[in-house]
Amino acid sequence: MPVLPILEYPDAKLRAKSERVGEFDEKLSNLVDSLFETMYACNGIGLAAPQVGIPVRIFVIDLGAQPGFSGRKHEFINPIIRHASGSISFEEGCLSVPGLGEFVNRNNSVTIDYQDRHGNQASLNAEGLLAVAIQHEFDHLEGILFIDRLSKLKRLFAKRKLRRQVTL
């Protein structure tokens, strides 16, 4: 499976709303494998399909790349966050927004319904970092980046910093 190039801010494709997956075939399975491989190659703990320019509702997560967390491969297709509660603030980064880490407020606990690569329906209760990662990756499917979730002032500084990174 090939490692795919990751789109970076301010690429307009990161702003598109992704489409549901309809066909659970070998092509889909290969894409999910490529997402994992690309994520591991970049030392990320999560990656969504639109980040590699494919606007479909798929993301993968493996917390194992984060020190102190044990890993498990999670793949989410056509996910729906059915329940979200509590609050947590975690310093997030994003493979599509390199060089920036900011604290973002999220729900601490989520229940996500999704399909696996075979089309089987499943459900997962997640807390803490896994819940944060799910919400971060889910946002990518809606064209939302973590910098959009910062306070107005923090967003202004973040965008200024990113602009400098892009132009220098």
Task: Determine the interface stretch with Co ion among 15-23, 92-100, 117-125, 154-162 (rule: CB under 5 A).
Answer: 92-100
- Please work out, in degrees rounded to the nearest 5, the angle formed at the alpha carbon of residue 55 by the alpha carbons of 96 and 98: 0
65 neighbors 43 (Cβ within 8 angstroms) = yes
Task: Determine the interface stretch with Co ion among 70-78, 86-94, 114-122, 154-162 (rule: CB under 5 A).
Answer: 86-94
- Angstrom CA distances, 46 to 36, 40, 58, 91, 96, stand at 8, 9, 11, 14, 11
Task: Determine the interface stretch with Co ion among 25-33, 34-42, 57-65, 89-97 (rule: CB under 5 A).
Answer: 89-97
Catalytic residues: 137
- Of residues 106-165, which lie at the interface with Co ion (CB under 5 A)? none
The closest residue (CB) to Co ion is: 94
77 neighbors 114 (Cβ within 8 angstroms) = yes
The verdict on 58 binding Co ion (CB under 5 A) reads: no
Tokens of 144: 């939302």
Binding residue for Co ion, selected from 6, 35, 39, 94, defined by CB under 5 A:
94
Q: How many residues lie near Co ion (CB under 5 A)?
A: 1
Q: How near is the Cβ of 84 to Co ion at its closest, in Å? A: 18
Residue 68 CB neighbours (<10 A): 6
